[in-house]
Structure 1
């Protein structure tokens, strides 16, 4: 394992490059730059430098990092590295990494900006992300093709210090274990793109950070479609993890579409096509992160004009509130969660369910008009103050089945 050196000043002293730029108005085209030494970038912008790069071939062929944390947090060993309020524009170029701890494109520090257009990005080894921003660094890109093959190598990533990334009209594929299409400990927005993670979840939000997708196809082949959590690492500030998706498609080849653990979370969906092999729409529960007994997931999922189906599971010590707004329809069953249905929305019950409460609804007449049931039993928590209007009684539901207190 590489030596772990977390001190920023020590890491900065380790950074070298084949070509280091410290001036403004730098221009380079039709050039190949190759690095093969440890801790050595191909191209390094620092000291508020500004540059335009066209038709470049930037390569990292061997030369593993000597500090995995230095690579993850500060860009050590990255192929293209921007720091210290530098601004870089890259067009019609290729960036290739074949070393451990060698992120392809890395921006770190507030005021640092890397803009990518028509760029092919590829990494093959572990801990080598496609595009990565930390400590307030900013990356924007359009027309990108991003491919990673190693473990812990997300296609689009932010790490410690809440970087910012905006991507559009791009294709992202990852194949390694623990390598989602998107990993956010910052702010990431993606539009009109396709992302497939063959060895991981499609997207992951850690801590008080966010992912926002519009007209995106997102597919996770392992564990879940989207995971929202808080780890032990300290890389992400604790708080509400946020995931928003408007239009597009979300698919989970394995596990629930959404999995929430050891964090507070908010999910928003609108007109998204949802496909899940496991049949579980969303699950909140405890896992290996956090303090046992205090590490459940608590999530509010709000959907608008959304069709969705499956099982909703809130394990002991966790909570889920599903808010159906607009003309949303949910077809499925509930175990331990709460559900709120606007007048124009509908829950089609497909199995016996246990519901904590029914949101802002305050009469059985309103509740019954928003539930389509065919003989299943729905149990509610008679001790929850939201359910005072039900008075602990059992009710017959139109279409068959009963609404009864959970005694």
Structure 2
């Protein structure tokens, strides 16, 4: 359950642990004058920096301490970043070409104000005192990230998190900031829009036919359209040489892209070809609010890492019709978005990727696709990060995520919905909808949901599974920085309409599933056959059916039990066998 406001329960307790192993417990009275050495106090509140030791319901126990400034920040797996390396992404790879692996592409962010810090990584130095405090319905929770902050919830606080806590006189938390100790140095991205140079720039309104635009320079676009209304028909864009000095400037702002449209420009592109062979050689890039790209009947080929087909960031708009896109590099989604997101609409065409960490769609935006073929030959098919969406209609989707670059406990999947906490995607509710068409998984679970809340809606989609798992809603090890282990589960509302689906559904003990089967849906499968303790609600209407393929354990059922065929197995609701 996600919640920010909860009822107060206990008073604040401070425990002092002596070096000899003895402890003394002292309860604060209203007029107590005792102060911890790291305490800052005013008439209304007391401020602590603490490290969480235990969370029980609405009560947190933590050790007090202080923050000290260290050297450069570290990646979630403990590796030191060099300035250009981004956080690890779903396929276990990073955006920077100089690091071992590549991410499934960017993330979006709506708050560009960085946390206050003088640079480098901070560390927590513990004292010998612990405190226990509670959260009430007025507590404000903020999550500090690499490039800003987001409103948070209690279930986003986990054991070992570092908090800055302001306590009221009644010993409840007035505010909590979940600290990001990597915030000072970031991962090499700039808060300043850095787009490099351009070999060719159009900054006045005009129509152009059969032009050819070439770039071989570092951090250079082959063609840039800046604050102009332009039509391009039958042009060729070639970005065949030129290094990218900073992969995140390429991912976020279009540096080194083939064709960059920026600064409120409106561009129509048709019957054209874009070819790039360099890192950050995104084919066509739409950056910034008010920028609109309308591209149709064109071909885009990219071969470098971090080189998507069409890329949208900073609130830009991309409208694509009947494109042929193929990418070969890692972290090179065919339809790609990153920091700041935007709006992407795709109609028709073929969108194929071949690299690792290169789904056919990576969404940190609102992306809708209809009547298209989407194929990821060496990656999961689709990824949604944070408060963003993918909507498909009449699409044929195929994914083939390998496991060679993954850790032992990592998930192999076809569709992933998650929150990385890297700071490039707003925290919030994700949405995935698919109507008609097909989705094929060649490896792994069909759908994996972790460290986020989301809605999944399937309507008359032909599903082909690679394994026996249809849906996996669960936490993760936090090795990639996706929340805190033990409190980073998924929360999914899953609605199946006129849908045939089969396979196992798994909901772990820190996750939630609300499953609705309606309008002729038939689910042939099981839920939590291992008697996992995740919260699972199932609703079935009179036209739908659930055929068990194993003993199933749920916490709540709504509907007529006659709509369930046990098939020789048992159904348990809240531990009680009902069929």
The normalised TM-score by structure 1 is 0.90
**Structure 1 position 31, deviation (Å):** 2.2
Q: 1:320 aligns with which of 498, 513, 525?
A: 513
Query: Are 1:123 and 1:149, in contact at CA under 8 Å, matched by a contact in 2?
Result: yes
2:485, 2:188 → 1: CA distance?
30
Runs (4+) of structure 1 moved beyond 3 Å?
Answer: 1-5
Aligned residue pair count: 376
Map 1:237-256 onto structure 2 (within 5 A).
237-256=426-445
1:371 matched to 2:564: yes
Map 1:2-401 onto structure 2 (within 5 A).
3=84, 5-9=188-192, 11-12=194-195, 15-24=196-205, 26-46=206-226, 48-222=227-401, 223-287=412-476, 288=478, 289-335=482-528, 336=532, 337-358=536-557, 360-361=558-559, 366-367=560-561, 369-382=562-575, 392=576, 394-395=577-578
Q: Deviations over 1:51-89 (max 9, x none)?
A: 111111101002121111101111111111011110111
**Structure 1 position 374, deviation (Å):** 2.0
**Structure 1 position 10, deviation (Å):** 5.8
Tell me the equivalent position of 1:385.
Answer: none
Q: Deviations over 1:13-42 (max 9, x none)?
A: xx2111111111x12221221111111101
Q: Which moved more, 1:209-218 or 1:162-171?
A: 162-171
Query: Are 1:8 and 1:74, in contact at CA under 8 Å, matched by a contact in 2?
Result: no
* Secondary structure in structure 1 of the residue aligned to 2:248: helix
Q: Which has the higher contact order (CA 8 A, sep 6+)?
A: 2
2:332, 2:228 → 1: CA distance?
28
* Secondary structure in structure 1 of the residue aligned to 2:249: helix
Query: Are 1:5 and 1:11, in contact at CA under 8 Å, matched by a contact in 2?
Result: no
**Structure 1 position 379, deviation (Å):** 2.0
Tell me the equivalent position of 1:388.
Answer: none
1:10, 1:307 → 2: CA distance?
47
Q: Deviations over 1:83-109 (max 9, x none)?
A: 111011111111011001111110011
The normalised TM-score by structure 2 is 0.63
Query: Are 1:158 and 1:164, in contact at CA under 8 Å, matched by a contact in 2?
Result: no
Q: Deviations over 1:199-222 (max 9, x none)?
A: 111110000000000000011111
Q: Deviations over 1:150-186 (max 9, x none)?
A: 1100000111112111111110110111100000001
Q: Deviations over 1:269-310 (max 9, x none)?
A: 101000001121100112231111111111111011111000
1:122, 1:316 → 2: CA distance?
44
Query: Are 2:190 and 2:248, in contact at CA under 8 Å, matched by a contact in 1?
Result: no
Distance verdict in 2 for CA 1:2–1:98, change over 3 Å: farther
**Structure 1 position 345, deviation (Å):** 0.7
Query: Are 1:216 and 1:248, in contact at CA under 8 Å, matched by a contact in 2?
Result: yes
Query: Are 1:2 and 1:66, in contact at CA under 8 Å, matched by a contact in 2?
Result: no
1:2, 1:219 → 2: CA distance?
35
**Structure 1 position 241, deviation (Å):** 1.1
1:321, 1:198 → 2: CA distance?
32
* Secondary structure in structure 2 of the residue aligned to 1:143: strand
2:501, 2:514 → 1: CA distance?
15
1:32, 1:45 → 2: CA distance?
14
Tell me the equivalent position of 1:400.
Answer: none
User: What stretches of structure 1 of length at least 5 have no aligned partner?
Assistant: 383-391, 396-402
Query: Are 2:193 and 2:249, in contact at CA under 8 Å, matched by a contact in 1?
Result: no
Query: Are 1:219 and 1:253, in contact at CA under 8 Å, matched by a contact in 2?
Result: yes
How well do the aligned residues superpose, as a CA RMSD in angstroms?
Answer: 1.4
2:341, 2:283 → 1: CA distance?
18
Query: Are 2:193 and 2:253, in contact at CA under 8 Å, matched by a contact in 1?
Result: no
1:158, 1:227 → 2: CA distance?
15
**Structure 1 position 338, deviation (Å):** 2.9
